[in-house]
Amino acid sequence: MKLKKIESCDRIDFILNRLIGKKVLHLGCADWPFTQSKLDRGTLLHTKMQRVANNLVGVDLSETGVRLM
């Protein structure tokens, strides 16, 4: 059996391209304990998802992370 060659790609771009105009439920959205540093650097995935998704709901167990967002 011959395996199909898969090109590598940027994980974030891959995700964001599939969310354009979609309704999305983002589980683990806060990325605690890195929430504040990612917000400061503009690298929090949930923030990027907000730019492309039609409707985005985030859920996370970390109250602190959600509060920071």
Asked whether 56 and 24 are in contact (CB, 8 A), the reply is: yes
Nearest 5°: phi and psi at 59? -130, 135
pLDDT at 23: 98
**Vertex 31: Cα angle to 67 and 18 (nearest 5):** 110
pLDDT at 48: 98
Tens digit of pLDDT for each residue in 1-36? 676 777 778 999 999 999 999 999 999 999 999 999
Tens digit of pLDDT for each residue in 31-64? 999 999 999 999 999 999 999 999 999 999 999 9
pLDDT at 27: 98
